Structure 1
Amino acid sequence: MKSIIVKLVALATLMLASSVWAHGDVKCTKLPKSQWKPHTELQEKLTKEGWQIRRMEQTTTCYEVYAKDPKGKRVEAFFNPVTFERVEE
């Protein structure tokens, strides 16, 4: 029983670490936040395109979107906050 708990904790730690590394280097823009468009405009744009937004966050250089894309696939996507172009990881 104890070894199962240790393995589960190790697995959870690896999963959390890998998610941090997965998008730790995404760079969307170097422009100051004063030039960013409001995230509500991005939300409206994506909704019109068929996205189902669950949550949006602001990173230091991007808008991060947790949603279902128009094909129904759950995604974590990054968008340039000035142009709203999707930025690939």
Structure 2
Amino acid sequence: MFKTALAGALTLAALSSLALSSPALADDDNAACTKEPKAKWMTTEAISAKAVAAGYKDVKKVKVEGTCYEVYAKTAKNERAEVVMNPMTGDVVKVETSE
């Protein structure tokens, strides 16, 4: 009985710590872009131009995702790209590609 209760308590403690750490991880992802208010961000047109300057083409869409811009475009190899960009600097933070 004691082993079962101990195992249950340890499982609960592990799940609780995981749940508590998840919001912090989300904040870290968002912090990778900016904490500045949207009023100070580059325009979507300027971000689109930065994406083109970084080698992306056929920019289809620019949208706000958290504290970043997400740019949907094509790579030089004509792959679809989802490019996460810093809205203050236009720096590329992350890229996901697919054919």
Structure having greater relative contact order (Cα 8 Å, sep ≥ 6): 1
TM-score, normalized by length of structure 2? 0.56
Code of the residue aligned with 1:76 in structure 2: it is: E
Residue 53 of structure 1 and its aligned partner are, at CA, apart by 0.7
TM-score, normalized by length of structure 1? 0.61
Structure ID, larger Rg: 2
The equivalent of 2:77 in structure 1 is: 71
Q: 2:39 aligns with which of 25, 34, 55?
A: 34
* CA distance in 1 between partners of 2:62 and 2:78 (Å): 17
Structure holding more strand per residue: 2
Q: Is the 8 A contact 2:71 2:84 kept in 1?
A: yes
* CA distance in 2 between partners of 1:62 and 1:41 (Å): 14
Q: 1:80 aligns with which of 65, 79, 86?
A: 86
Structure holding more helix per residue: 2
Code of the residue aligned with 1:54 in structure 2: it is: K
Aligned residue pairs, count: 65
Code of the residue aligned with 2:93 in structure 1: it is: V
Unaligned 5+ segments in structure 2 are: 1-25
Unaligned 5+ segments in structure 1 are: 1-24
Of all paired residues, the percent bearing the same amino acid is 34
Code of the residue aligned with 1:41 in structure 2: it is: A
Q: Considering only aligned residues, what root-mean-square deviation do their CA atoms show, in Å?
A: 1.9
